[in-house]
A = this chain, B = another copy of it.
Amino acid sequence: METAVVLLSGGLDSATVLAIAQDQGFDCLALSFRYGQNHASEIDAAAEIAAHAQVSRHVIVDIDLRVFGGSALTSDVPIPDFVELDEEEPAIPITYVPARNTIFLSYALAFAEVSKATRIFVGVNAVDYSGYPDCRPEFIAAFEEMANLATKAATADGLRMEIVAPLMDMSKGEISRLGTTLGVDYSRTVSCYDANQRGEACGRCDSCVLRRRGFEDAGLPDPTRYA
C-alpha cells in the first residue's frame, strides 16, 4: 500500500481530494495549517474530517504567515463580497496569500519524505480560482519538477514524487457530485473565508458563492451551515 500526503484545509475541495486518494487505495496522511487565517474554524473541520476518514496520521502545523502580511485572509482587511471573475482579464483576488501554496506544498514534501510517501494530493482547481497563480497546472508541474531535485528520497533513494491535483479541471458542481458519490459529508466542511468560530458560513464571499453554485449545478441540497 503506497502512502500519500493529503493537504487538508477543511474545505469542500480538500475533503473531496482525501476521499479520492483513499478511493485510489492510498494510505493517507493528512496535513493542515494554522497559518494565522481569520477563518480558523476550518482547522476544526479538518480535524473532524480526518478523524472520520480514519487517516493514519493528521498533522496540524503552526505557521504564522501574518509575519509578512499582504493578504486579506491573514489581516484585518474585511473579506470582500463575491465579484464575478472577469474571464478576459482575471484579477488576482485580495484573498490571495503570498506564496501560500508553495509553502504548504514544501511542508507536504518534508512530511512525504519522512513518511516515504510518493504522492502529494492537493485540491487546487484552475476553473473556479483562475485568479490564483499557485492554483494553475503549470505551477503544480514546476513544483513537482523542483521537488524531484530537492530531496534525498528522490535523488538518492529513487522515490519519485508526484503532485496530484485531481480537481484541477473540474467545476465545483462536478467536485461536489464526485465527493457525494464517495461518501463525503459536506456538512462537516468549512469553505467560507469569513466563517465564525462555530464554522458557520457568511454566504457572501467568493468561496461561499462558488460553493453554493456548485451544489446547485450538481442538483444537490446545500448542507452548508450559514450564520
- The yes or no answer to A220 lying at the interface (CB within 8 A) is no
Q: Mark A119-159, 1 if CB is under 8 A from B, else 0.
A: 00000000000000110101100110111011111111000
Residue ID in chain B nearest A105 by CB atoms: B106
Contact A70 B151 (CB under 8 A): no
Contact B69 A114 (CB under 8 A): yes
- Copies of this chain present in the complex amount to 2
Contact A114 B146 (CB under 8 A): no
Which residue of B70, B110, B145, B155 contacts A133 across the interface (Cβ within 8 Å)? B155
Contact B146 A150 (CB under 8 A): no
Q: Mark A144-186, 1 if CB is under 8 A from B, else 0.
A: 0111011111111000000000000000000000000000000
Tell me which of A13-21, A93-101, A210-218 binds B.
Answer: A93-101
**CA–CA, A195 and B215, complex, Å:** 57
Contact A98 B114 (CB under 8 A): yes
- The yes or no answer to A109 lying at the interface (CB within 8 A) is yes
Contact A102 B109 (CB under 8 A): yes
**CA–CA, A64 and B111, complex, Å:** 12
Contact A98 B62 (CB under 8 A): no
Contact B139 A149 (CB under 8 A): yes
**CA–CA, A181 and B149, complex, Å:** 34
- A99-B106, A113-B99 known; A92-B139 Cβ under 8 A: no
A interface majority secondary structure: helix
Which residue of B68, B109, B136, B150 contacts A110 across the interface (Cβ within 8 Å)? B68
- A136-B149, A142-B142 known; A110-B65 Cβ under 8 A: yes
- The yes or no answer to A61 lying at the interface (CB within 8 A) is yes
Contact B70 A102 (CB under 8 A): no
- The yes or no answer to A67 lying at the interface (CB within 8 A) is yes
Residue ID in chain B nearest A153 by CB atoms: B98
CB of A6, distance to nearest CB on chain B (Å): 15
Which residue of B59, B99, B114 contacts A151 across the interface (Cβ within 8 Å)? B99
Would you give 27 A-B contacts (Cβ < 8 Å), ordered by A?
A59-B67, A68-B111, A68-B115, A69-B114, A70-B114, A92-B152, A92-B155, A98-B109, A98-B113, A99-B107, A99-B109, A99-B113, A99-B150, A102-B109, A102-B150, A103-B106, A103-B110, A133-B150, A133-B151, A133-B152, A134-B151, A138-B149, A139-B146, A139-B150, A143-B146, A143-B150, A146-B146
